[in-house]
Amino acid sequence: MTRTKHILICRNDALGDTILALPCCGLIKKHFPHVKISFLGRSYTKPIIDMSSNVDHFINYEDLVNLAEDDLKAFFADTHIDTAIHLRADKHLAALIKKAGIKRRIGTFHSIHHLSTCNRWVNFSRSKSHLNEAQLDIKMLRAIGIKVIPELKDLPQYYGFNNIPQLSPKTKMDILDNNKFNLILHPLTTGNGPEWGLENFSMLLEDLDKSIFNIIIGGSQQDMEKMASFLQSNEGKYQHVSGNLSLDQYIALIDASDGVVAGSTGPAHIAAALGKKTLGLYTDLPTKNVERWGP
């Protein structure tokens, strides 16, 4: 590792995946504090990455996909990145990183795309493992000499969430109730995982004591449109919706709230990482269960 000065962590998928990838950055900083870390992700995950003091720079995947090869090489030459670690087997991203001319490209033996685009490999199977996704990501660090895999209870110390956005005073006044338990229900997973079902959330809304709970329905504006009939039929059983908030402000709302109930999706991971009371709802399918994807 003495030759490595700047590492690129590549994980260009959803919010929950991005959060589970961040302990890799914390472990690298712990073992090699001199190393600079950039994180290549999608634009909508940037607010998550910006919270971590273990990431020095964010690179937007969408800014790179249409660059000509010469421009791509010039971009990465300016960054002086010498090592890229693929935490996900994405053939397009793997090809892009090879085309960029990054010297050391780390992938997995179990991806046919990585066999032709990487020049360092780690040999293990995700599909046959009982480890959490965050721990499986950490296994990729073997290629740079980090052999330890922390227990799940120890992972929060590696998030580095020291830059948490602040909730705007207006949103705080409009949505939160200091005299009640502020509970966010986030019913949808935007297709990133199995859902508990709106009918079950309707029954939960019926059972929750409104004198104790200030209930907020969480999700994007698109989520709110999909839940229009659910919201209408349950009017009066919840106090607020969060569809008009940016991701920055939704993160701030989660941080200012007392608890979250959500499916296998980003907000459950955000809430758990921020130390909130979190109830995640998971299927028992082996590759989708709480053992694999729990926060």
> Where exactly are the structural domains of the chain?
6-158, 169-293
Residue 86 near residue 106, CB atoms below 8 Å: yes
Centroid of chain to Cα 13:
8
Rounded CA-CA distance 50/244 in Å is 21
Coil, helix or strand at residue 46: helix
Residue 86 near residue 104, CB atoms below 8 Å: no
Give the angle 189-191-192 at the CA atoms, nearest 5°: 70
Per-residue pLDDT of the chain (295 residues), as tens digits, is: 558 999 999 999 999 999 999 999 999 999 999 999 999 999 999 999 999 999 999 999 999 999 999 999 999 999 999 999 999 889 999 999 999 999 999 999 888 889 999 999 999 888 878 899 999 999 999 999 999 999 999 999 999 999 999 999 999 999 999 999 999 999 998 777 778 999 999 999 999 999 999 999 999 899 999 999 999 999 999 988 888 899 999 999 999 999 999 987 899 999 999 999 999 998 887 778 888 878 8
Coil, helix or strand at residue 107: strand
Rounded CA-CA distance 42/8 in Å is 14
For residue 127, give the amino acid letter: S
- Residue 106 has phi, psi (to 5 degrees) of -105, 125
Place of tokens 């079902």: 197
> CA dihedral defined by 16, 205, 170, 47, rounded to 10 degrees?
0
| CA distances for 253 relative to 66, 124, 217, angstroms | 35, 38, 12
Coil, helix or strand at residue 144: helix
> What is the tens place of the pLDDT at every residue in 140-188?
999 999 999 999 999 999 999 999 999 999 999 999 999 999 999 999 9
For residue 265, give the amino acid letter: T
CATH 3.40.50.2000 is right for the domain spanning 169-293: yes
Topology annotation, domain 6-158: Rossmann fold (3.40.50)
Q: What is the pTM of this model?
A: 0.93
Which secondary-structure segment (H or E) carries 261?
strand 259-263
